[in-house]
Amino acid sequence: MIAVLAIVSCIVVTWQVAFSDGDLSLAWSAIYIIDVFFVIDIGLNFFTSYREGGVEVVATEKTSGRYARTMLPIDVVANLPWELLVFVLGEHAIMGVSLVLWLRLPRVLRIVRFFRIVDRWDALPIINPGMLRIVNVGIGVALATHIVACAWFLTAAVDAFPPGNWAETAGIVGAQPVDQYVRSLYWTITTMTTVGFGDITPARTVEYVVAMVVMLMGASLYAFVIGSIASLLSGLNAERTRYRDRMLSVTHYLQQQGVSPDLHQRVRRFYEYLWGKHRGVAENELFQDLPRSLQIDIKTQVAANILRHVPLFEFCTPALRDELLAALQLETFDPGSVIVREGETGRHIYFVVDGTLQVIRSDRDEPYAELRAGEYFGYLSVVLKERRTASVVATGYCDLLRLSQGDYQAIMDAYPEFREVLSKAAANKTEKMAELVIEGVVL
């Protein structure tokens, strides 16, 4: 709310100075209502926490001290009722504009509060930082354009439109304030963007001076805006561009090596799936910088479905569960991929996160079973050290968590109670897995 009111204050106060006809009654009382909110905001900022070095600081003496050293002086200047000085100085006009309106101009400094708020929003995970910066630049440019438009009209309006001013040439003296503002805004935009049609031109020395300043400012601002927006838009798609370049490099290599079109298409579709599901992020590498405890918390939420449905985790102590989660690695498979093959020695246990798989054997046409999210396989072959007697094939895109035999053995050595957990898990196997055991299927 304060962010919006800061923008409104900046617009209204500058509009009043340039286009007000001197009526300071109820029509402009809204500015004083806004003042109340900003006074409350000053009080709240003494108790508003802030982040320092990744830590939330909530101690009142620190929050109030930091606010007093940073934003309080600006907020005081921007929110003091300076127009009360009229009772001391007397009511009179400066350059044809009421002193009360000139004394309201410090409220424009409230826009600093807006940009401080936007800086805090930049740290929120629910907001796209790139889009926020584009909005930030856009609002800044719009406000600058509005202020320049008001200043341009004021060059003609001072001292009640002296002869030869640009507004007289343009025929807007005595027009409605909205029409005067639109014409001023039109000149500002054409001048700042270096278009300059020449239909509205300065006619007096003060107007030439203002026009030159606006031209110089506009040339710099225009270049800054174009560069900033181009950079921000490029940043929004940077990850996708890098991912697409990697995909093109792989597919180009496959073309050079004469890989069949079918396999080539499988690779492309796999990359498309990875982008749609994981935004091309290699999750196993993404969290390497995080401490182990934080990695475990992330994996706990990612694997929440498994933790609820897999008996192996159901009987684990929190410490043992964390060891298992820390050792798990995410893998993605495309349709038709053989995850485990009949006749091979088991080296991994797999937990299904998403997707559907089929258990098949070479001597049988129909699949033995389907495995879905929350189920696991590969355990018997690893534990019994026997060759697998069936294969598991992905019927669609699948996300699996893999536990290697080495990690399994290390956990078994560190946590002797893991043997008891495995016994309980074996006694609580699903009906589907029990039927596979009866059929002599070892995965």
Note the pLDDT tens digit of each residue in 27-53: 467 888 899 999 999 999 999 988 876
Residue 265 in this model has a pLDDT that exceeds 90: no
Partners of 369 in the β-ladder: 359
The per-residue pLDDT for 218 is 83
pLDDT tens digits, 127-177: 777 778 888 888 988 999 999 999 999 988 887 788 888 888 888 888 888
Mean pLDDT across 16-31? 67
| Mean pLDDT of all residues in 279-284 | 62
Q: Residue 240 has what pLDDT? A: 73
- State percent of the chain over pLDDT 70: 86
In single-letter form, the type of residue at position 22 comes to G
Write out the two tokens for 125: 């995970």
Strand, helix or coil at 293? helix
How many CB atoms are located within 10 Å of the residue 308 CB? 10
pLDDT value of residue 29: 75
Using CA atoms, how far apart are residues 381 and 345, in angstroms rounded to an integer?
7
Does the pTM of the predicted model rise above 0.85?
no
Q: What is the pLDDT of residue 26?
A: 46
CB-based contacts of 8-11 (< 8 A; 24+ apart in sequence): 8/34, 9/34, 9/38, 9/107, 9/108, 9/110, 9/111, 10/107, 10/108, 10/110, 10/111, 10/143, 10/146, 10/147, 11/143, 11/146
- Give alpha helix (H) positions in 107-260: 111-121, 129-157, 166-170, 177-192, 205-236, 238-256
Of residues 2, 270, 23, the one with CA closest to residue 116: 2
pLDDT of residue 283: 61
| Least confident among 120-124, 132-136, 207-211, 345-349 | 120-124
Q: What is the mean pLDDT of the chain?
A: 82
Task: Flag whether pLDDT at 429 surpasses 80.
Answer: no
Tell me the C-alpha distance between 274 and 268, whole Å. 10
Give residue-wise pLDDT tens across range 322-331: 888 778 788 8
Using CA atoms, how far apart are residues 301 and 306, in angstroms rounded to an integer?
10
The residues spanned by each domain of the chain are 1-114, 239-278, 284-438
Mean pLDDT across 7-17 = 90
Report the C-alpha gap between 229 and 133 in whole angstroms. Answer: 9
Q: Which CATH class is domain 284-438?
A: mainly beta
Is the pLDDT assigned to residue 305 strictly greater than 70? no
